[in-house]
Amino acid sequence: SQKIEQNSEALNIQEGKTATLTCNYTNYSPAYLQWYRQDPGRGPVFLLLIRENEKEKRKERLKVTFDTTLKQSLFHITASQPADSATYLCALGALFSGGYNKLIFGAGTRLAVHP
Amino acid sequence: NAGVTQTPKFQVLKTGQSMTLQCAQDMNHEYMSWYRQDPGMGLRLIHYSVGAGITDQGEVPNGYNVSRSTTEDFPLRLLSAAPSQTSVYFCASRPPLAGSDTQYFGPGTRLTVL
């Protein structure tokens, strides 16, 4: 069955360092991958999308890589700040019948950035 | 724009009761969906709709019904609540444009079934 794995343990880093979160998947050939941020008691908020033919995507302090051979995506936050503390979800998308791209979500990794 | 709105924010039900979770969006998005989020698990798709009058089942549809009479509204009905339906429910919408797969999520409804 399709499976998405994100590190269930919280990632604790020092302010100013680079945070790296991992998303691994099996039995799946996604057309694209997305990363979302979720704060406690709130809905997920879209951050970045990377397609299967793209190796890397950047947005301000965020960088996402996508290795379809390793079946892995890495999500980096450079110069991390305490305000970056949140849970980060990865989601894989593929085209299903009817033209609707269903997303399959990982359980998320909690990031805590300490001053 | 208010984006995606959900009501209520919190709800407690007794086993066997029924209720409707409301979801509305003012972005004229064709695609809408309902997810549930449980501790240690990813968001799981319950039902989705690709436009008014068109709905389909997701990964975990049992015990839930949906309808889509307008583009704006996509209510989720619990027919006979069970403790296993205790969860946080999120509604999401997105435009049907090719290459635009960003989903916009509502704030969620936290449901407890006793």
Report chain B residues whose CB lies below 8 A from the CB of A41: 107-108
d(CA A77, CA A67): 18
Local confidence band at A102 (pLDDT 50, 70, 90 cut-offs): confident
Tell me if B42 and A100 make a contact (CB, 8 A cut-off).
Answer: no
Secondary structure of A42-105 as H, E, C letters: CCCEEEEEEECCCCEEEECCEEEEEECCCCEEEEEECCCCHHHCEEEEEEEEEECHHHCEEEEE
Please give the residue of chain A at the shortest CA–CA distance from B54.
Answer: A98
Closest approach of B21 to chain A, Cα-based (Å): 15
CA-to-CA separations, A40 to A43, A88, B19, in angstroms, rounded: 8, 11, 25
Report chain A residues whose CB lies below 8 A from the CB of B95: none
d(CA A90, CA A75): 9
> To probe the interface with B, which of A39, A47, A105 has the most B CB atoms within 10 Å?
A105
- pLDDT tens digit string along B9-20? 999 999 999 999
Whether residue A75 has pLDDT greater than 60:
yes
- pLDDT tens digit string along A19-73? 999 999 988 788 889 999 999 999 999 999 998 899 999 999 999 999 989 999 9
Total length of chain B: 114
